[in-house]
Amino acid sequence: MYPIERLFKPIEIGGVEIRNRIVMSPMVTHFASDRGTVSERLIDYYAERAKGGVGLIITEACYVRADGRRKKYRLSISKDDDILGLRKLTQAVRKCGAKIGAQLVHGGRVCFSADIDEIPVSASSIPGPLSGGDFHIGNIPRTLRKDEINDLVLCFGEGARRALEAGYDFIQIHAGHGYLINNFLSPESNKRDDEYGGSLERRMKFLLDIIENVKERTNGGIPISVRIDGDEIIPGGYGVEEAKIIAKKLEGEGVSEINVTAGNPGAAEWS
């Protein structure tokens, strides 16, 4: 067998069989409505990719709470009213033979006040670095309180529940690229002195709490993927050695797939 032939062989991830190993990565289209709901254009877009033979489609970033949407026309999984449209999307993709996953995200400090009508939130009040057109001048986030962190954990869990009800085959938790979970994982953006900051073990707590809540809200009924940075490639960020520890911890927590990327705002050319 030539190595490339393996691309076209089925693979099982978390009990879900995928017809081949070709994956459409999550990429924002701006085809959602201004309320974050699924549009016919969005359905057609993903259905065409499924018809093309891709084995797995990971839906573009779905925000789990309104203040984490990043920009207008992003896809929402933040309320039960979103489920109907998302179900139409998953049905269209699965009808064409592909499997589909929902990427759950909160933008954290790289959200813009003008888009969410409030101050962005993060692990600490550290502004994001300048990068590739997303100029965070004066965009200083607000430090999250513990009770707010608990609420966000629930938001991710509820997002996973909605994904399951909408017919998604699995969910992907976005913990990279300078978004909220990464704001906790990274020593560059996390300057907390409580149980969520300091050592890597404590910086991982927010992500691990989310995984636990996702399992609880879905009764373990949907495989979990996590996207992490293998290297942030920014001054003060974490590198490969800590990424290895994070990955091993995720495997121990029963995560079915780890999606490794690199780079954050400040090194956007890598991500």
**Which residues are catalytic, by number?**
179
Integer angstrom CA distances of residue 110 from 74, 126, 140, 263: 14, 11, 9, 14
- Identify residue 63 by its one-letter amino acid code: Y
CA-to-CA distance for 180 and 148, rounded, in angstroms? 13
Tokens of 188: 């560059």
DSSP state of 27: -
CB count in 10 Å sphere of residue 42: 23
Show Cβ contacts of residue 241 under 8 Å, excluding neighbours closer than 6 positions.
none
With beta carbons less than 8 A apart as the criterion, state whether 123 and 183 touch. yes
What are the residue ranges of helices labelled H in 6-112? 40-51, 83-95
Nearest CA to 178 out of 87, 268, 76 is that of 268
Secondary structure class of 57 (helix, strand, coil): strand
CA-to-CA distance for 14 and 8, rounded, in angstroms? 19
Residue with tokens 């109907």: 84
User: Cα 16–93–221 angle (5° rounding)?
Assistant: 35
CA atoms within 13 A of residue 162's CA, in its CB half-sphere: 24
